[in-house]
A = this chain, B = another copy of it.
Amino acid sequence: MTVRRRDPPRIEVGLNAVIVAVTDHRPRVLTLPGPDPADPGGGTADLLPYGPLDPGGDRTLDLTLRGWVRAQTRLDLGYVEQLYTFGDRGRLEGGAPDGEVRTLSVAYLALARESGSGSAARARWKEIYAYLPWEDGREGRPDFFDRVLVPRLERWIDAAPNRREREERRDRAAVGFGLYGSDWDGDRVLERYELLYGAGLVQEADRDRRRAGVSCEADPAPLPGRPMGADHRRMLATALGRIRGKIRYRPVVFELLPPRFTLLQLQRVVEALSGVELHKQNFRRLVERGGLVEGTGEVESRTGGRPAELFRFRREVLRERRAPGVGLPGIGSG
């Protein structure tokens, strides 16, 4: 299948970081502009911080990641978690002759507090929902959802070559996007992105097909949602899905908040990430009863109304019960 020449083909390993912060009720991700390795045309694109793994370097992958994130962005990462290793061939070995090099990308999720200083060099905080706009349901489904996205999906479904395939497409769309009676499941971020990619509805799909030499009509009006270079948008989707899942059963939100915060701030961060709005009183009951937070006596008076008490995360909770996270509604197993 592949042509081997001299020396066996090499493997290169890169580390990618999806660094997430939330400011002003908006989840953001740290990006760098750069040439898109998957685009032979050579435009620039938004990229996640990326660095090669030096085989002789640090002892652990984590350390390597932290190291050059610091170098590229002057940011000291706190919470870091491995996400997924992407290794499909032909993903981004743009220039190299086939079989010469294989690139593996180990993607990490990191949570940060968006310190002002964090954006050294050319790093920029960008809104996550600029890349994945269909994921933000806080004010109901975004406008374009029923107007553009669903019709496009349906065109794709109908274009299936046979009945079986058509039914499968319909099922995937139903489950992923909560259509035809299925519920919306906030965690299926990656599934949705993959579906849109497979249906040719994101720009990366066009780009990759063009690179592979497949002719295809350029999409007349691309779906809202900014593309990224390489398969970084896929990584972003993976990260958002992971956060949404994790936030419920491990108290990770606090990594994104200052040491003291009001309950509404906490709620806004949870809402921002999970993409849904929550019932304020019940949310308060949940985090208080769960023992996740404890009041400091202080109050924050810049609320515009009655001043709110400042709370802090009760670290002890990690030692006590099952450290429940900030459970969203409708989670139970029924």
- By a CB distance below 8 angstroms, the chain B residues around A174 are 319
Q: How far is the CA of A115 from the CA of B104 in the complex (A)?
A: 33
Binds B, one of A9-17, A32-40, A257-265: A9-17
The reply on A185 being an interface residue by CB < 8 A is yes
Over the window 148-191 of chain A, the binary record of Cβ atoms lying under 8 Å from chain B Cβ atoms (1 yes, 0 no) is 00000000000000000000000100110000011101000000
Asked if residues A249 and B104 are in contact (CB atoms below 8 Å), the reply is no
- By a CB distance below 8 angstroms, the chain B residues around A8 are 55-56
Asked if residues B82 and A60 are in contact (CB atoms below 8 Å), the reply is no
Q: How large is the interface on A (under 10, 10 to 19, 20 to 34, 35 or more residues)?
A: 35 or more
Asked if residues A59 and B82 are in contact (CB atoms below 8 Å), the reply is no
Asked if residues A332 and B332 are in contact (CB atoms below 8 Å), the reply is yes
Asked if residues B333 and A175 are in contact (CB atoms below 8 Å), the reply is no
Q: How far is the CA of A205 from the CA of B330 in the complex (A)?
A: 43
- By a CB distance below 8 angstroms, the chain B residues around A67 are none
Over the window 286-321 of chain A, the binary record of Cβ atoms lying under 8 Å from chain B Cβ atoms (1 yes, 0 no) is 100110000000000000000000000000001111
Q: Would you mind naming 12 contact pairs between A and B with Cβ atoms under 8 Å apart?
A: A1-B57, A10-B10, A11-B13, A11-B55, A13-B104, A59-B90, A61-B87, A87-B106, A104-B106, A182-B321, A248-B333, A331-B332
- Give 8 nearest A-B pairs by CB, closest first: A327-B333, A55-B102, A2-B56, A9-B55, A56-B99, A324-B333, A61-B87, A85-B85
| Interface positions of A (Cβ within 8 A of B) | 1-2, 4, 8-13, 53, 55-61, 82, 84-85, 87-90, 99, 101-102, 104, 106, 171, 174-175, 181-183, 185, 248-249, 286, 289-290, 318-322, 324-327, 330-334
